[in-house]
Amino acid sequence: MNRRENCESKPLALPPRPLRWLFLDLNSYFASVEQQLQPELRGRPVIVAPVDADTTVAIAASVEAKRFGIGTGTPVWEAKRKCRDLVITPARHDRYVAFHEAVIAEVWRHVPVDKVCSIDEVACRLLDNENSPEAAVALAGRIKAGIRANVGECLTSSIGIAPNRLLAKLASDLRKPDGLVVLTADMLPHALYPLKLRDIAGIGAKMERRLAQDGILDIRQLCARRPREAGSAWGGVNGDRLWYLLHGFDLPEKPTQSRTIGHSHVLSPQRRGLEPARLTARRLALKAAARLRRKEYRSRLLVLHGRFEDDKTVWRTSVRLPATQDSFAILAALDRLWPRLAEAGRARPAGFRLRMIGVTLCEIEPVGADQGSLFAALDPGDPLARETRTLALSRAMDRLNERFGRNAVSVGPLNGGRLDRIGTGIAFGRIPEASEFHE
């Protein structure tokens, strides 16, 4: 046996990996908030839905509903079939944000919040005097009790404690609801072997197939590789990163940057024709443009996407934009795209029946320290001065809507209120700002 083979046959000596992270996941969050606000719903199977229609899906299910096999994404008609006593309540995203902020404030009373991961998840870094198993478990107990006492008795949480954030998140998923799981370094990685590869954030169907082609069918086989070999199977830059995380190393977070801003809406059954869908798309575009300005970004690409009733795939098209944050420029681009969607819808056997419509602004970048427009001093009728004027008007509309409420002033028709109400929704990875509920 040569020196290289002898070296590789020996297990790697791993350094100490103390408990560094506490990850809190609120159980059945939207449904739990509704049970807190509506005492008559407590103990009953409840789902939260975006609109009152069987054709939509549950965006949250209570613990009681989950016992019937109902979860996020279950069609409402199917949920009703699974549970005859099911209660359906409409989403109230502004209340979920308010409870989220109260939960964050309560967690801060016990430990600094390092990262808000989603509307119902937070991660906290433990200090040296907090990271013994006994101290960490006691801290978790105080946080759970504080949320129940000071935010709402219906808001239970599952907490995971581990050497890094990925493992703490995995630990929080191991025991629900109201669980508490600690993964210490001596338990790694064998404590993870019962999990599936798809349980790990970042491993989807495509990556699972890639790993299988390299002979990795489960977490045990992935962890048995040397770091470089595991990285080669994963592919890409820093491919060995997951191996180190699963073995308890606390690696620095990779920087992320927002790349898109957009909104989508599930249309009610009576509003799935061409004109209601077009007006809804305009309102979504205006919301996205307002967010773009508030974050001081501009966009270079507009994407229009939708899903027809008779097709599960997403239809999409796009158009280039001049780097802009102007509502009027974005609406003009949307008008250029709309005939493509109209043609695609009319060509379908059932005609134009659009279930979902969405508008996304892509290739966004910070505005930076832009100097004033050279065209601002031109005659107002000069075409070169148009964008300067319309952007100033867009910003003025933002201020009016923030002060006087949603749609105090808008661009184009609101159709006498005969469209679906477009509120601000919550993508689980993004918490809306309070101002968005006025857009």
Positions marked active-site: 121
Hey, what are 412's tokens? 């184009």
Report which of 288, 271, 269 is spatially closest to residue 279, judged by C-alpha positions. 271
Rounded Cα gap, residues 54 and 190, in angstroms: 44
Find the DSSP H helices in 295-425. 327-346, 386-404
> What element of type H or E holds 141?
helix 133-150
Report which of 51, 52, 81 is spatially closest to residue 68, judged by C-alpha positions. 81
Coil vs helix vs strand at 107: helix
Rounded Cα gap, residues 368 and 298, in angstroms: 10
Bridge partners, residue 21, by sequence: 125, 162
Bridge partners, residue 263, by sequence: 359
Coil vs helix vs strand at 423: coil
Rounded Cα gap, residues 352 and 231, in angstroms: 47
Q: Going by C-beta distance under 8 Å and a sequence separation of 6 or more, which residues neighbour residue 250?
A: 17, 20, 21, 163, 164, 165
